[in-house]
Amino acid sequence: MKKFDIFYILYLLVIAIIAISVFLFSDKIFTYKKSSGMLSPLPNFLTGFINNQVSTLNLWFPSPTLIKKSGVREPDLSATSAVLYDLVSNKVLYSKNPDLKLPMASLTKIMTAIIAIENKKPDDRYLVTTDDLVGEDSMGLSAGEVLSLEDLLYGLILHSGNDAAETLASNYSYGRKGFIQAMNEKAKSLGLSDTNFTNPTGLEGDGKQYTTANDLLVITNYALKKPLFQEVVSQFDYHIPYSSEHKEYYLENETNLLTSYPGVLGVKTGYTPEAGLCLVTYLNYSGHKIIGILLDSDNRRQEMKDLLDYGLRVQGINPPSHG
């Protein structure tokens, strides 16, 4: 057979495969652009025509490769779900039910912070209303006060302030409902399909709010790329001096291990009776950047320490001395 004939047959074969794929999967992998009639090779949730939270296509899919090392004993965790991931080596260090959908409590506020940071008000003035004062956990806001985005983020993260979360949501350009929609659209824009938000706080009772450890890994990694988020979650305390628009605030970080485990730089605790004790932790130690996630734990502090120790040892690194 001539060389030309071989190439021609291969060409026809490729065309046939493409045609069959388009016929079978076009409803899933293509979406129409209404204005031009052109086709976009993206799912609906990854196009700016459908999802307002899509800006640049910046998907990150963690490697499924799991590191194991003989002689290193895995921690015995009570947590229903857990993940430990090294962002430097791009390896899973530990995994337990990583795709199980569970309530997330105040870990919700990681996404709340993302939406607030990406949609900062031009005048940076956030008015507190009576409707924003919900839940037991709060930074102590009063109706009528006006604070900046940065101050509210410290209240949101350090004190897990439900009042801060609601204030950020109610000041969104499309209101609280639009803010929650933006949270869900952002999750979809990150390629996530196992996360759903019904409020900006993580409180139960107003809808089915859930996520997975794997989805939280992607959300946290995305949030840590934002300098303001990284700065806020890494601080142990924060002082907001009195002004004519608000009272004085002194905030202390509730994130376990921030001051007791060398290299830990935040991120967030969470608890509701439905979700149990939850914790997301970011460790930067000995050239490794590690995200740890615990959902529904009986002892999140000790289990996160055990998890971090294990993640370092399995990579041949001696864990730091810690309390």
* Least confident window among 11-20, 115-124, 227-236, 263-272: 11-20
CA distance 111 to 210: 12
| pLDDT at 37 > cutoff 50 | no
Percent of the chain with pLDDT over 90: 73
| pLDDT at 25 > cutoff 70 | no
What are the sequence ranges of the domains in the chain? 3-44, 81-114+188-313
Task: pLDDT band for 71, please (50, 70, 90 cuts).
Answer: confident
Give the residue-averaged pLDDT of 105-111.
97
Give the residue-averaged pLDDT of 228-248.
97
- The residues assigned a catalytic role are 106, 109, 160
| pLDDT at 76 > cutoff 50 | yes
Q: Would you state the pLDDT for residue 74?
A: 93
Of 137, 183, 180, 142, nearest to 161 by C-alpha is 137
E strands, the chain, are: 31-32, 39-40, 81-86, 91-96, 126-127, 146-147, 237-240, 249-252, 264-272, 276-285, 288-297
Q: Give me the phi and psi of 146, to 5 degrees please.
A: -130, 125
Question: Tokens representing 308?
Answer: 């971090």
C-alpha count within 13 angstroms, C-beta hemisphere, residue 100: 16
Task: pLDDT band for 43, please (50, 70, 90 cuts).
Answer: low
Taking only Cα atoms into account, the Rg of the chain, rounded to an integer number of angstroms, comes to: 23
CATH class of 81-114+188-313: alpha beta
Q: Would you state the pLDDT for residue 31?
A: 37
pLDDT digits (tens, 9 = 90+) for 110-148: 999 999 999 999 999 999 999 999 978 899 999 999 999
C-beta of residue 79 within 8 angstroms of C-beta of residue 299: no
pLDDT, mean over the chain:
87
Task: pLDDT band for 255, please (50, 70, 90 cuts).
Answer: confident
Give the other-Cβ count within 10 Å of 205's Cβ: 9
Task: pLDDT band for 68, please (50, 70, 90 cuts).
Answer: confident
CA distance 111 to 106: 10
Select the more confidently predicted residue: 34 or 320.
Answer: 320
Q: Would you state the pLDDT for residue 44?
A: 60
